[in-house]
Amino acid sequence: MAQLWGGRFTKETDQLVYNFNASISFDKRFYAQDIRGSIAHVMMLARQGILTDIEKEKIIEGLEGILDDVEQGKLVISDKYEDIHSFVEATLIDRIGEPGKKLHTGRSRNDQVALDMKLYIRDEVHMLDNLVEEILLAILTIMEENVDTYMPGFTHLQKAQPITLAHHMGAYFEMFKRDHERLTDLYRRMNTCPLGSGALAGTTYPLDREYTARLLGFEGPTLNSMDGVSDRDYLLELLSSLSIIMMHLSRFSEEVIIWNSNEYQFVEIDDAYSTGSSIMPQKKNPDIAELVRGKTGRVYGALNALLTTMKGIPLAYNKDMQEDKEWAFDAIDTAKGCLTLFAGMLRSMQFNKARMKDSARHGFTNATDAADYLVNHGMPFRDAHGIVGQLVLTCIDKKIALDELPLEEYQKICPAFEKDIYDAISLETCVNKRITTGAPGRMAMEETLAMYKKYMEEY
């Protein structure tokens, strides 16, 4: 029976196994890093007398030729190779013959892939950090232009106290500032070179690992060859930093969506960053913000997937680790796309200042300040709280704001109120009296802005 279909079945199974095992479809994206790592390896081998200078030159010339040809589209990375390492090595041997066969001396694909991935991620961390910088700059511009743009601050999505748009934006500045610092921090920690770890136990060749590390811009070599080939902590740190970045973008998106709603109308998203409806002609939807909010799940997913993949892996390299790539690449691409689009949307967004101010005036956001007024006239805060509560009820009944209530009404409820109550509860006063560090008042905000500007200059 087996003979009836055995040959064909075996062949098909082999092909399936091969496909299942192969990583070229996704690891081809770090061909440049693979070649860069190989060039450094070969330079070190020659310096240590393991390769001759002629062999070194031939190999490097060959590798540079492959890099150029791939970059110019003259050489297509074919999926018939198992992974990018095999593709580069086989192409090199094809092109330069014998010396090419010496490229892999004192190296395993285990330390090679560990190196390639680190080189790739390092470049990506730089790019991500630049995009975070763009967001910070966009926020800073909005802050500088809106120190006196009053709006309600919310708790429980209920109007709470008046703040400014600069202050609200400043909260996001702090969040993305921490994101920048997390990226900087993980970069510093990951910046050690695994090349020379071999398969797991180093090699018997007299490699100079400090030299390759230096050539490739690392702080130094990794200090344990087992960990060198099997450490993926830096990816988990990156994915968790990206998850936090996405969480920040998602919260921000949620606010943009709310602020853009017909009820709020605090902002107008630029036409270029919104979309229409196929059926409802009046619609202008905040799709970009919604997609950013939605894509956050993908990045969290990547973090969870890699944490789960790593948790059961005994030392040292195991093939499970090949699963680090697609998730990491997808999360990085997603975060980069979201950061880019969000920055563009922010830069082009219009703020409806009159609408924001009006909203702050009509939500009793100055009620705390009215109570503080009585406290300043010697009343215990708890009593003042009760009196202002009654005033608010009266205003709700009359459908007016606290500053529209006539003085007689104030005095009916509490004779301590004088004419100066109106100034005490104006939006300007409510905001500008709050000048403790980190508060929205102009004096405090100007100090904060000076620090933020300096921060960006030193970024």
User: Which listed range, 105-113, 166-174, 355-363, 376-384, lies at the site for ligand ARG (CB under 6 A)?
Assistant: 105-113
CB of 14 to ligand ARG, least distance (A): 17
Q: How far is CA 28 from the centre of its chain?
A: 24
> Judged by CB under 6 A, how many residues of this single chain contact ligand ARG?
10
1-29 burial, b at 16+ Cβ within 10 Å, e below that, comes to eeeeeeeeeeeeeeeeeeeeebbbebbbe
When asked if residue 23 is in the footprint of ligand ARG (CB under 6 A), the reply is yes
The interface mask with ligand ARG, positions 112-141, x = CB under 6 A, is -x----------------------------
Of the listed pieces 107-115, 175-183, 261-269, 429-437, which binds ligand ARG according to CB under 6 A? 107-115
**Catalytically annotated residue among 25, 78, 261, 277:** 277
Name which of residues 296 to 355 contact ligand ARG (CB under 6 A): 317, 319, 321-322
277 assigned to active site: yes
d(CA 185, CA 198) in angstroms, rounded, equals 27
Is the CB of 83 or the CB of 372 nearer to ligand ARG?
Answer: 83
Q: Exactly one of 85, 156, 225, 241 is catalytic; which is it?
A: 156
232 binds ligand ARG (CB under 6 A): no
User: Following CA atoms 209, 211, 215, 221 in sequence, which dihedral angle do they give, to the nearest 10 degrees?
Assistant: 30
Identify the sign of the CA torsion 97, 103, 106, 107: negative
Q: DSSP letter string over 410-431?
A: HHHH-TT--TTHHHHTSHHHHH
Residue 165 burial by CB count (10 A; 0-12/13-18/19+): exposed, middle or buried?
buried
CA distance 303 to 206: 38
Residues with Cβ within 8 Å of residue 26, at least 6 apart in sequence: 325, 326, 329
Q: Are 214 and 193 in contact (CB under 8 A)?
A: no
238 contacts 328 by C-beta, under 8 angstroms? yes
The smaller minimum CB distance to ligand ARG, of residues 138 and 321, is found at: 321
Region from 109-117, 180-188, 283-291, 445-453 binding ligand ARG, contact rule CB under 6 A: 109-117
Sole binder of ligand ARG in the list 50, 62, 81, 83 (CB under 6 A): 83
Cβ nearer to ligand ARG, comparing 86 with 275: 86
Q: At 206, which amino acid appears?
A: P
Q: Quote the least distance from Cβ 31 to ligand ARG, whole Å.
A: 13
For ligand ARG, which is the closer residue by CB, 197 or 432?
Answer: 197
Instruction: Provide, rounded to whole angstroms, the least separation between the CB of residue 201 and ligand ARG.
Output: 13
The least CB distance from residue 114 to ligand ARG, in Å, is: 8
CB 77 to ligand ARG: min, Å: 14
Residue 109 as a binder of ligand ARG (CB under 6 A): the answer is yes
Nearest approach, Cβ of residue 110 and ligand ARG (Å)? 5
Asked if 140 and 173 count as a contact pair (C-beta separation under 8 A), the reply is yes
Two tokens, residue 221:
């070599």
Which residues, at least 6 apart from 38, have a Cβ–Cβ distance to it below 8 Å? 59, 63, 88, 103, 112
Contacting residues toward ligand ARG, per CB under 6 A = 23, 27, 83, 109-110, 113, 317, 319, 321-322
Give the active site residues.
156, 277
